Structure 1
């Protein structure tokens, strides 16, 4: 009798101890489907300070309904799908989880170790060896422009400075640029003609060819004023894009190649280290 009482007391103590050390789930359930619960923490990010009370109620209700519908389908699948089918899905889920973890870890390692600098000589070498890959599929120009009111007091002086455009002229035009409706005085960079046409509505398919003439000056009017445009240089379709224009693309290509090489090295090294540290072994 005493032995049975002792056993009973031990069981009670063990059960009580397990319950005591078990972390309490203090989350607040807001919905249940069979044995699954939806908690307030699961939907707290749906509502922001800017959300109205009416919208909040609607968002929460819709979210609960979507969760319940999905959970009911999942429960139905667990009851009706074959064990073989469920096993296949579980393998896919496990593989997807592994792929996510692997990708995140590799990306972190690559980010930490990759060299993202590109020396000029490296860019030039890649460019010279792959010029055929850099044929233009649209026109590029180097140009500057200002858009001013047609009746602006100093229009003649602005036009003169704009066309001559020495260092002093550029500085003076910069200093009065607040008078311009819009402008771009940096004529040392290549720009797509399509971008020019998108930005400057007065340029259209009918007068586009005027943009494609080197050293050409244009003066075009619209309902808001006058555009002064100076074309410095032109590159047409199928011509080779200049290095300065494609350098960002080359940099991305080179860095992507470095990433692939680094990933291959990481894959080899992690396996070698695991074998060396006896974390990985193949049984005969």
Structure 2
């Protein structure tokens, strides 16, 4: 619709008398000045032209839909105009609240706050599936390093295990300090369809299973079963979001209260019975 050459043969200043029309639908024109926000000095002429072209096509499609909707439905009614008014006012309030909250909120959540919330709401964090801390290694069955891997796992030599995994493992997970869902750890392994994972975990920390071409090693350091309370670290991020959301709601409520109180003191409104 707009070639890179033609597109940039347009006004370079806002002092020119005429604004270029890029597209027309019915009586509505899309002007070059309407899409100035799309132009980025870091984009090449070709990329800018492509960006504008996509926007113009989208604008045309939208205007065509609006035209068809106007033919089919009468939107010039008190009810529809009221809905538009309510939406506009709601959007204004939302933007005002957002700007105020962004300027006032402290997003730093202290560890003590997180701990206190965790202790008070443990029942809300019941696990829906088993989680574990541990290591996982996928190794070719023919690998001559199998004994070295097993020895490092059984003797809890984390650095040695990391060194071996980096060099010889086909896949591995060695974030032993982090909790992870057991289903994520066993995905794409022979244990993915294991029905009795509880019994499997209770049978011992070291688990080895063989597939057709690979051996899979699981070093389970700790686990929490479904319906148990997870450790704090597993739900820390969730609690942080909850506490932050509480702060947002408190700021919003306080903003409404302050505005009403000030208006009441200054007699800025009247209520008639």
Residue 6 of structure 1 aligns with which residue? Answer: none
C-alpha distance in 2 between matches for 1:122 and 1:224:
49
TM-fit CA distance, 1:241:
1.8
Identify the match of residue 102 of structure 1 among 82, 93, 106: 93
> Structure 2: which 5+ residue stretches go unaligned?
1-15, 39-44
Residue 261 of structure 1 aligns with which residue? Answer: 250
- For the pair shown, the structure with the greater C-alpha radius of gyration is 1
C-alpha distance in 1 between matches for 2:263 and 2:81:
27
C-alpha distance in 2 between matches for 1:42 and 1:178:
57
Relative to the length of structure 2, the TM-score reads 0.75
How many aligned positions are there? 248
Whether contact under 8 Å (2:183, 2:192) holds in the other structure is no
Residue 196 of structure 1 aligns with which residue? Answer: 185
Residue 269 of structure 2 aligns with which residue? Answer: 281
TM-fit CA distance, 1:185:
1.8
Pair 140,214 (structure 1): closer, same or farther in 2 beyond 3 Å: farther
Residue 67 of structure 2 aligns with which residue? Answer: 71
> Structure 1: which 5+ residue stretches go unaligned?
1-22
Deviation digits for residues 245-284 of structure 1, max 9, x if unmatched?
Answer: 1222221111111111110111122344556778x43376
Identify the match of residue 37 of structure 1 among 21, 29, 32: 29
Relative to the length of structure 1, the TM-score reads 0.72
Deviation digits for residues 216-260 of structure 1, max 9, x if unmatched?
Answer: 211112234211111122211221222221222221111111111
C-alpha distance in 1 between matches for 2:61 and 2:173:
54
Whether contact under 8 Å (2:136, 2:185) holds in the other structure is no
Task: Tell me the C-alpha RMSD between the 2 structures.
Answer: 3.5
Whether contact under 8 Å (1:144, 1:231) holds in the other structure is yes
Counting only pairs closer than 5 Å after superposition, residues 1-284 of structure 1 correspond to structure 2 as 26-33=19-26, 35-39=27-31, 64=60, 66-74=62-70, 76=71, 81=74, 86-165=77-156, 169-176=157-164, 177-198=166-187, 200-206=188-194, 209=197, 211-213=200-202, 215-273=204-262, 280-282=268-270
TM-fit CA distance, 1:26:
0.9
Whether contact under 8 Å (2:105, 2:248) holds in the other structure is yes
Pair 201,39 (structure 1): closer, same or farther in 2 beyond 3 Å: farther
